[in-house]
């Protein structure tokens, strides 16, 4: 499974990296810290899964969702944010995000989703 991380926090990208690189079957194909680099990386690298932050320089994760959903081979999107407001969740879901998690209390949910995908279960 090819994975891309889009988050402006180097600390958070490192934390995610540690989790996903320890998982057999997950390949980290790229990462970015701003909206434009995220869009470019996702469209060029065509990952199976994107872990996406809401707040990033150059716009926000919702802008990334708008650009990448609807393209051929659209990745599964996991929004992982410090801004878990219901309004953001509703917009992200409407734009095509499959999952929406709060970084502070639901970080472990990302690994659970990835494990289900690796084992061929519904994610």
For the chain, which domains are there? 2-117 (3.40.50.2300)
Percent of the chain whose pLDDT exceeds 90: 91
Q: Enter the pTM of the model.
A: 0.94
Task: Please report the pLDDT score of residue 13 as a whole number.
Answer: 97
List the structure tokens of 90: 């509703």
Q: How many CB atoms lie within 10 A of CB 55?
A: 14
Contact 49, 24 (CB under 8 A): no
Tell me the mean pLDDT in the region 4-24: 96
What is the band of 123 on the pLDDT scale with cuts at 50, 70, 90? low
What is the band of 70 on the pLDDT scale with cuts at 50, 70, 90? confident
Q: How far apart are CA 55 and CA 22, in angstroms?
A: 26
Task: Please report the pLDDT score of residue 72 as a whole number.
Answer: 77
Tell me the mean pLDDT in the region 71-80: 91
Strands 59-60 and 55-56, bridge-based pairing: antiparallel
122 has a pLDDT exceeding 90: no
């Amino acid at each position: 499974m090819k994975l891309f991380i889009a988050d402006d926090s180097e600390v958070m990208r490192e934390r995610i990296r540690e989790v996903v690189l320890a998982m057999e079957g997950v390949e980290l194909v790229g990462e970015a810290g701003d909206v434009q680099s995220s869009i470019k990386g996702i469209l060029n690298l065509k990952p199976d899964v994107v872990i996406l932050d809401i707040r990033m320089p150059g716009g926000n994760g919702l802008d990334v969702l708008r650009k990448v959903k609807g393209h051929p081979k659209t990745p599964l999107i996991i929004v992982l944010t410090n801004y878990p407001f219901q309004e953001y969740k509703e917009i992200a879901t409407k734009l095509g995000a499959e999952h929406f998690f709060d970084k502070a209390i639901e970080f472990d949910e990302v690994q659970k989703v990835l494990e289900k995908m690796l084992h061929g279960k519904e994610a």
